[in-house]
A and B are shown apart, each in its own frame.
Chain A
């Protein structure tokens, strides 16, 4: 794409997040969960980068690490031109308004004892010097923007359905006019007929406020709908990253191929004619990943080298990155 002037809003280089495992009476450190183990990607201004993969592959950890909700094990994170990878938590405060998060479970992420108005206003209380009147106006505007009836501002979260609760979470995330929002499985807990409502809302808000999203999901059909580019994770690493069309039409990595072929197609004629790649076995533990390529224990195309050498993550074709020895012939 020559006419693509997009520049990265978020730049992540070799991001690592390892969690220590303690054991025994003395709580000695006996190992670590390599939840995120060397991610490199950009999120372009105004785009939606989809982050997909199966549960436990490190998507949430990656999203939280990028927002520096953790002290990361290694790597660089630049957001809006500022390096925050090693910024101490105390100094991150002023960056917080720029970057926000929307969570999977709207039930668990909203304080049940606060009214909707108080929930949405909370970030304004913490980060702005607006007058109470200005805050009220802002909250009302936010409720309009996400399609919540202003009349319900004094109600508590339990009085709302799952879809409406997700709207409350989105309104709060928008309160400080962020540029970048990590959406961590924002529709996974919702019914099919409600998912489309929330996805359309996220798309409208992106257009209206010029937002950039990292959209984490295990629902590949939905990611195909919403994402500009897609990154596929397996066991703490990105195995492939490409433009949406390329990734779904011409995936390179054997894991991407298997993952796509496992998605049930809602069309009986197609569903019965596709040749599914059925992966054998389970995902290895991130505390003890296999040597070489981390997919080598399940890969249908595994070669000898895969069990020895970790494949390099590189641009195999223009704008299509993959980490796989199949594409590393010299």
Chain B
């Protein structure tokens, strides 16, 4: 099996994996970082969202061989103490219910604000459309993104 060197959360990690292994399973099973979640495996739900060079990607559908030298950030690397503006806004609005989709929601929202610091309601809806929440926390997510965008 081939070896890969990943740049993840500011560190360099060596892994041995099948070349088609999705980044999601590399993160969860090989690097044992459990904040990134599995929901559908086919880019339909967004639970597995991480950043690749600051952009949101669905790690379930990104084979490790395609990652290259990109910088990966997972929820664990978004901030040291949970004080990223998006995380703080999430706490302020008590967004989560079960919480399972929320790592992906937070990573997707953070990437949105990276590229658009004050998105309109419609821009938020479009940008977040790929992230499912079965518990139905959508409106609090929207409010939290607005709060976070104001504190940027």
* B and A form one assembly: no
Residues of A within 8 A of B (CB): none
